């Protein structure tokens, strides 16, 4: 059975709130080869969603407004695989609300997209967000032709292409930011989404390849910073953990363990106001860099001037 906890967000105030469910299906094995069992990963996320739907039907849980699956929760392209398409459609239909599905989409030209798809219970796949900031030497290979000639291992690196747009999709009338995995580390991407109207930040992620290292906790820390920076609740859905619900003040109000199957539920407050940090963006960073460069340039000039004195 799914482990379900309902946690009210602490800073609700008078703002509108919605109910969300985060699915952490877990992976069949640790390490870089976890995707060798792609179907098992998809089945895990479908299974946990159906378990939640059963608890809703029994009156043991409230129905969320939408469900968030992690990055790579369907590493099988559902547009090319009818079985994967049917499994996801069944999960959405039974739960009765949209699911944001992390999927790997393969194109005819041999390239791949890391996508989050809004899967409607009635109409199926709709809006998508394609990951904009890809991982070098993981999702794509810089100077690919040269690298392949230098090493046969280079061919194992993905051939993903980056998406564009502002990273915002709509669930009903709620615009949400989709910040896939390490996109949360980039100031400009999250700021662009919030400026475009996102009232909630989601971070679908796949940390399974990093095992039990500190990487997943670093990502959680970055997400907490984004919550405070933009005054937005942040939802992290991970394939294997750590999934979490982060309040607008950066407090982690709920989290899962590593390498466990889990379902997190919460009511989260939406925000539409822009913080000072959202409005000014990276201006302070550039000002700080400019001051340092000016100081170093001035010091270098003074050093040269002193060197010319008799």
- Which position among 48, 131, 183, 229 bears the catalytic label? 131
Predicted structure pTM score = 0.86
Does the pLDDT at position 8 exceed 60?
A: no
Residues in CB range of 220: below 8 A, 6 or more apart: 236, 242, 244, 246, 252, 255
- Distance between CA 99 and CA 96 in Å, rounded? 9
Radius of gyration of the chain (CA): 22
Please tell me the least confidently modeled range out of 52-61, 91-100, 104-113: 104-113
Residue 3: predicted pLDDT: 40
Domain 4-274: give its CATH superfamily.
Answer: Carbon-nitrogen hydrolase (3.60.110.10)
Q: Do strands 168-171 and 252-255 pair parallel, antiparallel, or not at all (unpaired)?
A: unpaired
Residue 301: pLDDT band (50, 70, 90) is confident
Q: What is the pLDDT of residues 62-106, one digit of tens each?
A: 999 999 999 999 999 999 999 999 999 999 999 999 999 999 999
Residue 32: predicted pLDDT: 46
Residue 13: predicted pLDDT: 44
Q: What is the pLDDT of residues 190-248, one digit of tens each?
A: 999 999 999 999 999 998 888 888 999 999 999 999 999 999 999 999 999 899 999 99
Q: Which of 21, 113, 16, 111 is nearest to 71 (CA)?
A: 113
- Which position among 48, 51, 181, 229 bears the catalytic label? 181
- Which position among 51, 71, 139, 229 bears the catalytic label? 71
Q: Can 170 be counted among the known catalytic residues?
A: no
Instruction: List 104's β-bridge partners, or say none.
Output: 114
Q: Can 181 be counted among the known catalytic residues?
A: yes
3 state SS of 174: strand
Q: Can 301 be counted among the known catalytic residues?
A: no
Q: What is the pLDDT of residues 165-198, one digit of tens each?
A: 999 999 999 999 999 998 999 999 999 999 999 9
- Check residue 34 and report its DSSP letter: G
Residue 302: predicted pLDDT: 76
Question: Is 10 in contact with 253 (CB distance < 8 Å)?
Answer: yes
DSSP sequence for 221-273: HHHHHHHHHHT--EEEEESSS--EEE-TTS-EEEE--TT--EEEEEEEE---P
Residues in CB range of 218: below 8 A, 6 or more apart: none
Supply the mean pLDDT for the chain: 88
């Amino acid at each position: 059975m799914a482990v379900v906890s309902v946690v009210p967000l602490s800073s609700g105030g008078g703002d509108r709130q919605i109910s969300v469910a985060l699915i952490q299906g877990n992976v069949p094995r640790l390490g870089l080869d976890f995707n060798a069992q792609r179907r098992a990963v998809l089945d895990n996320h479908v299974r946990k969603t159906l378990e939640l739907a059963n608890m809703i039907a029994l009156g043991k849980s409230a129905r969320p407004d939408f469900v968030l699956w992690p990055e790579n929760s369907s590493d099988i392209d559902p547009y090319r695989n009818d079985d994967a398409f049917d499994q996801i459609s069944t999960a959405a239909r039974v739960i009765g609300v949209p699911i944001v599905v992390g999927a790997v989409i393969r194109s005819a030209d041999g390239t791949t997209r890391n996508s989050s798809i809004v899967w409607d219970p009635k109409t199926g796949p709709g809006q998508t967000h394609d990951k904009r900031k890809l991982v070098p030497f993981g999702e794509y290979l810089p100077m690919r032709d040269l690298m392949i000639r230098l090493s046969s291992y280079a061919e194992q690196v993905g051939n993903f292409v980056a998406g564009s747009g502002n990273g915002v999709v709509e669930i009903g009338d709620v615009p949400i930011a989709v910040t896939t995995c390490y996109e949360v580390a980039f100031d400009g991407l999250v700021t662009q989404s919030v400026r475009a109207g996102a009232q909630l930040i989601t971070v679908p992620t796949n940390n399974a390849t990093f095992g039990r290292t500190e990487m997943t906790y670093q990502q959680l820390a970055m997400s907490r910073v984004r919550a405070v920076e933009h005054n937005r609740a942040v939802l992290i859905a991970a394939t294997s953990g750590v999934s979490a619900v982060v309040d607008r003040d950066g407090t982690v109000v709920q989290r899962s363990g590593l390498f466990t199957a889990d379902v997190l539920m919460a009511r989260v407050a939406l925000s539409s106001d822009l913080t000072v940090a959202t409005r000014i963006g990276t201006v302070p960073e550039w000002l700080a860099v400019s001051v340092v460069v000016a100081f170093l340039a001035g010091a270098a000039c003074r050093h040269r001037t002193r060197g010319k004195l008799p």
